[in-house]
Amino acid sequence: MLRFLTRRTLGAAVILVIIAAVTFFLFFAVPADPARLACGKVCPPETLAQARHNLGLDQPLFVQFVTWLAGIFAGRDYEGLGHCPAPCLGFSFVNHAPVFDTIVDRMPVTISLTIGSSVIFLLFGVGAGIIAALNQGRPLDKIASVASLIGASVQIYFVGTLAMYFLVYQWNVIERPRYVPFTDNPLQWAYGLLLPWVVLAIIFTANYTRMARSTMVEQLSEDYVRTARAKGMSSRTVILRFALRGTLTPIATIFGVDVASLIGGAIITETTFSLQGIGRLSIQAVLNSDLPMLMATVLLAAAAIVVFNVIVDALYAVIDPRVRLS
């Protein structure tokens, strides 16, 4: 296991460096001048030249990348802007503050949204899929299949808008979603994000229900499950000890990708409910042509996907005893 984790961690580090290089050259090799974006619309030539020098844009592109990459781990000094402590992702073109500080400030909202919705759609999605598989062809199976099909067909902005209109503004069933730090008031934290959790979970629950059902049906027909039943084991033991483990392997794969994507920014959800998280931050970075902020959000999303893929690969051996890591 240790050799596997070491090898996968080193591979993940190489992938992140490649992604960082592609991201950097993609954003800094475009026709738009980052110095002009940082300087603003009205920028005299001498001010533009000074801005280009302060950002290090008067250096060769490869030197800029090495300096930027080293600054992530060791910090960096920007002339006219000050010192950017490690991990340094540059200064925002909009508020001229360190990008990493802004991301840290927005991250609790996105993590809270991810945790709550993940718990809901994982429990309800997998649970409904298993119940449907155990009642294959019966009314419960048909109801679960129809509900998952409907859930997979709707979009977050559609369900979110309807939920806001009726539950918040018309019927006053729940307050407008807002973020309250968990450390300040756990109950208000959960209550303020309840509606976004439920709306986001509706879409994901449908996918997990379908995945869990099809995988459980397949596992129940495997030889080792039939052998366990032939030996007289109870249905509960067969399902929980054997069939469920095989079912959770593909579930863990898509769960890792989904959680990583949500941490990278639930753009539509945060925009629909006006939550100031990473997804909303990335949209603002695009609209404001804030290249350092946009690069940071892209790298965050990539890093989350890579890290969670390593975690999921390591969990395979725990979930399914047939998997051996070497």
Q: What is the pLDDT of residues 74-130, one digit of tens each?
A: 998 887 778 899 899 988 888 888 999 999 999 999 999 999 999 999 999 999 999
Amino acid at position 229, single letter: R
pLDDT at 267: 86
Q: Copy the structure tokens of residue 76.
A: 């960096």
pLDDT band at 279 (very low <50, low <70, confident <90, very high): very high
Cα–Cα distance, 1 to 54 (Å, whole number)? 47
pLDDT tens digits, one per residue of 33-56: 777 777 766 778 887 787 777 777
Q: Are 269 and 313 in contact (CB under 8 A)?
A: no
How many CB atoms are located within 10 Å of the residue 12 CB?
Answer: 16
Backbone angles phi, psi at 83, to 5 degrees: -90, 135
Where does 15-84 show beta strands of DSSP type E?
76-78, 82-84
Question: What's the count of helices (H) and strands (E) in the chain, helices before strands?
Answer: 14, 2
Separation of alpha carbons 25 and 250, rounded Å: 35
Give the CA angle between residues 280, 150, 203 to the nearest 5°.
25
What is the C-alpha to C-alpha distance for residues 70 and 87, in angstroms, rounded to an integer? 9
Does the pLDDT value for residue 32 go beyond 70? no
Section 277-295 average pLDDT: 90
The mean of the pLDDT values for the chain is 87
Res 224: pLDDT: 85
Work out the angle between the directed axes of helices 186-220 and 139-153 (0-180°, nearest 10): 120
Model pLDDT, residue 321: 63
CA distance 179 to 258: 22
285 Cβ contact list (under 8 Å, min separation 6): 291, 293, 294, 297
- Evaluate whether 132 touches 213 at the Cβ level (below 8 Å): yes
Model confidence band, residue 326 (pLDDT cutoffs 50, 70, 90): low
Q: What are phi and psi of 80, to 5 degrees?
A: 85, -15
Quote the CA–CA distance of 50 and 280 in Å, as a whole number: 31
